[in-house]
Amino acid sequence: MGSTRHRPPRRLVGVLAAVAVAFTLFSSATTTAGAADTAVTAAQATTTRSAAVQPLSTSTPVVFVHGYTGNASNWVTAMSVFRANGWSSSNLFAYEYNSYGNNITNAQGLASYVNTVKAKTGASKVAIVNHSMGGLVSQYYLKVLGGNTSVSHLASIAGANHGTTYASACLVYTTCQQMYPGSSFISQISSGDETPGDTKYATWYSACDGVIIPYTSTRLDGATNNNVACQTHIGYLTDTAVLGQIARFVAS
């Protein structure tokens, strides 16, 4: 008598077939989902890279404002650094004023100068880079005279923004009286909002300054305040590293 072949029950065959189909569908879905996740991840990475690599703008005219006893020649190195960072010489300007006069008059002169630069370049706004007492001139222009509507960026290098006791050496002049801590001029530009409008504000200050006393006087509430490890008051004017930071700030 020959052997009898046992066939698996039909129900078991059906179950195995169903499992096979389900596994196939699951594998397909997993592969598709994985591809979708990869696509989303790639898209997110592209978006992140695009957000991180924003083009810098070097078309904004820059007005440099010197400090006490200074002049346009103070900005020779700064202009060279700005040119190296993409600015055209035709968009770099130096405002000169009377260091021994009155900073209100000097600020009014800055307002006129900015309007002249805007008309000459066709720009709606300029950036201002100041040094030392130029901080007072700039702050009065932006805050009291409403100049913030014409200024995209303000960079204050060792600005005497809250005064300096060093000004006691020249109190015979109105500008130095205004620059002394606690003066009515200082109170006017520091009361309330120190960084008005949509202007981007940044300062650079250092404990090694030696002229702005206290050195933290440069800081402005609401600004990006950069504490430089050690730089002298005049040394900033030839510090290509700091000036490069300022150029990139203005381009942001």
Which tokens is 250 given? 């203005």
Answer yes or no: are the C-beta atoms of 135 and 159 closer than 8 Å. Answer: yes
Catalytic residue from among 66, 131, 162, 233 = 233
Give 158's DSSP letter: S
Catalytic residue from among 138, 153, 206, 209 = 209
Helix (H, G, I), strand (E, B) or coil at 154: strand
Q: What b/e sequence results for 37-50 when a residue is b if at least 16 CB atoms lie within 10 Å of its CB, and e otherwise?
A: eeeeeeeeeeeeee
Residues with Cβ within 8 Å of residue 193, at least 6 apart in sequence: 143, 221, 222
Active site residue 193: no
Are β-strands 92-95 and 224-228 bridged in parallel, bridged antiparallel, or unpaired?
unpaired
Catalytic residue from among 132, 138, 152, 190 = 132
Active site residue 132: yes
CA distances (Å), origin 94, targets 48, 55, 98, 212: 38, 26, 14, 22
Q: How is the chain split among helix, strand and coil, in percent rounded to 5?
A: 50, 15, 35
Answer yes or no: are the C-beta atoms of 145 and 138 closer than 8 Å. Answer: no
Angle at CA of residue 197, ends 137 and 176, nearest 5°: 15
Helix (H, G, I), strand (E, B) or coil at 235: helix
d(CA 130, CA 216): 16
d(CA 121, CA 139): 23
Residues carrying an active site annotation? 132, 209, 233
